[in-house]
């Protein structure tokens, strides 16, 4: 009965990791998958997380019973405060709803399902959903799989000037159908590492409000971009001040419908991660320690950006490399074209996405010379 199942295309970023793992070269470097690595190239369990895990294991009052469908209440409230700020009018006016989801992808799925079911009418599959061009590739598929038939790109990246195409972006906001849904990256845009400035966000907000567009923020990297939770949440908080974005009361009906969606998707979420977060965020000392850990990661990325740019400039690699330090977050959109990327992978054992995106955390003080030299050769050969 399964003989007709067609082969699905591999997911690019996982295929890249597989190719990297199979590569026997001692020089190999993985700049593909978006995960933090230490200067030794190793995954890092945050020290505060290790500490809190031990506290949880020793706490005899905890058990493995089901959590509520919408998740651990202390997690939901502390996560809302991290995103919106302690003094958020939206929280005080009871306009905020929170669901503990399975990762960022689960959150996108819940949001997309809810919107398809209830935004602009019941089972609304026709509302256009706009995602940035380019975007994290899964955005398209998550909204399409939730039943939206019209997922479109909006202008975002100007390849020529290696920066934000603000005029194009604003133009799409002006010309799209009213009440369209726009998926925005809260900070550290994936894959370009290029965010609007605060002034530009204000312009974007003005058009979105005037044209009654629906703002859907995907916030995957708060704190990691600049090292400051406040700075990275600026756009989300600016938008959340406005009641005109349809963030009215967190109506009981909304929660009840969210529960129904969760119930038929994962029924109720796992507890361990939520407990770690809730314990950390609800203790001033642990919270301070966590912020410090996050800053350690953000600072390492900033250092790698500065070093990579300096090395390319020292090599005299043609082109400008300012965008490497101007972009923020985990990723840099290098501007390397697919042929140059192919050369890097096949000849230099440096693995990066075909789009030219690199994970800055894959760089270390030990491999950065090889990476810079490889970029230099790819550009000049
Ligand atoms: N949204 C963006 C912009 C991302 O970059 C990512 C991760 O790559 C996600 C969502 C998904 O997050 P998670 O891996 O927690 O599902």
Q: Could you read off the pLDDT tens digit of each residue along the chain, which spans 381 residues? A: 999 999 999 888 999 999 999 999 999 999 998 889 999 999 999 999 999 999 999 999 999 999 999 999 999 999 999 999 999 988 988 888 999 999 999 999 999 999 999 998 889 999 999 999 999 999 999 999 999 999 999 999 999 888 999 999 999 999 999 999 999 999 999 999 999 999 999 999 999 999 999 999 999 999 988 889 999 999 999 998 765 555 444 567 889 999 999 999 999 999 999 999 999 999 999 999 999 999 999 999 999 999 999 999 999 999 999 999 999 999 999 999 999 999 999 999 999 999 999 999 999 999 999 999 999 999 998
What is the residue with the minimal CA distance to atom 9 of ligand 1? 104
Q: Can you say how many angstroms the Cα of residue 190 is from the centroid of all Cα atoms in its chain?
A: 6
Which residues lie below 8 Å from residue 135, measured CB to CB, with a gap of 6+?
A: 153, 156, 183, 185, 190, 191
Interface ipTM: 0.98
- 28, 136, 232, 234: the catalytic one is 136
Is the Cβ atom of 103 under 6 angstroms away from ligand 1? yes
Burial of 377 (0-12, 13-18, 19+ CB in 10 A): middle
Chain position carrying tokens 């998926």: 183
User: From the CA of 271, how far away is ligand 1's center (Å)?
Assistant: 20
Six-digit token string for 282: 């609800």
Is the Cβ atom of 218 under 6 angstroms away from ligand 1? yes
Q: Indicate if 234 belongs to the active site.
A: no
pTM score, whole prediction:
0.94
Six-digit token string for 50: 């290790």
Is the Cβ atom of 298 under 6 angstroms away from ligand 1? no
| DSSP annotation string for 204-268 | HHHHHHHTTPEEEEE-S-TTTTTS-HHHHTHHHHHHHT-GGGS-----HHHHHHHHHHHHTTTSS
Q: What is the spatial distance between Cα 301 and Cα 330, in angstroms, rounded to a whole number? A: 7
Question: What SS3 state is found at 59?
Answer: coil
Q: Indicate if 50 belongs to the active site.
A: no
Strand 331-333 with 357-359, pairing: antiparallel
Six-digit token string for 314: 């020292």
Measured from the Cα of 185, ligand 1's closest atom is 3
| DSSP annotation string for 305-362 | HHHHHHHHHHHT-SS--HHHHHS-SSEEE----HHHHHHHHHHH-EE--TTSEEEGGG
Q: What is the spatial distance between Cα 305 and Cα 299, in angstroms, rounded to a whole number? A: 10
Q: Indicate if 243 belongs to the active site.
A: yes
């Amino acid at each position: 009965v399964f003989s007709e199942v067609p082969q699905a295309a591999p997911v690019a970023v996982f295929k890249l990791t597989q190719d990297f793992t199979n590569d026997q070269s001692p020089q190999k470097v993985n700049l593909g998958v978006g995960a933090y690595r230490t200067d030794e190239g190793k995954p890092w369990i945050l020290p505060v997380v290790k500490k809190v895990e031990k506290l949880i294991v020793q706490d005899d009052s905890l058990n493995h019973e089901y959590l509520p469908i919408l998740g651990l209440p202390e997690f939901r409230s502390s996560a809302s405060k991290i995103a919106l700020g302690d003094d958020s009018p939206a929280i005080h006016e009871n306009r905020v709803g929170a669901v503990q989801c399975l990762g960022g992808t689960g959150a996108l799925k819940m949001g997309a399902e809810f919107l398809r079911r209830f935004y602009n009418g019941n089972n609304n599959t026709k509302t256009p959903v706009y995602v940035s061009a380019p975007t994290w590739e899964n955005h398209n598929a998550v909204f399409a799989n939730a039943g939206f038939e019209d997922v479109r790109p909006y202008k975002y990246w100007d390849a020529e000037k290696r920066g934000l195409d603000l005029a194009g972006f604003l133009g799409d906001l002006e010309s799209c159908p009213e009440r369209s849904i726009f998926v925005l990256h809260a900070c550290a845009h994936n894959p370009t590492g290029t965010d609007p400035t605060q002034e530009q966000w204000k312009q974007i907000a003005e058009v979105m409000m005037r044209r009654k567009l629906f703002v859907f923020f995907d916030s995957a990297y708060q704190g990691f971009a600049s090292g400051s939770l406040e700075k990275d949440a600026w756009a989300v908080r600016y938008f959340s001040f406005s009641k005109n974005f349809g963030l009215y009361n967190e109506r009981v009906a909304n929660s009840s419908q969210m529960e129904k969606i969760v119930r038929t998707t994962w029924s109720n979420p796992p507890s361990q991660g939520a407990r770690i977060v809730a314990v950390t965020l609800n203790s001033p000392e642990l919270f301070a320690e966590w912020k410090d850990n996050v800053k350690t990661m953000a600072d390492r990325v900033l250092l790698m950006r500065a070093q990579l740019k300096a090395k390319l400039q020292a090599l005299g690699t043609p082109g400008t490399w300012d965008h490497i330090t101007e972009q923020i977050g985990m990723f840099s959109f290098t501007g390397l074209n697919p042929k140059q990327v192919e050369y890097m992978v096949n000849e230099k054992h440096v693995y990066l996405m075909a789009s030219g995106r690199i994970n800055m955390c894959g760089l270390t003080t030990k491999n950065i010379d090889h990476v810079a030299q490889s970029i230099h050769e790819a550009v000049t050969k």
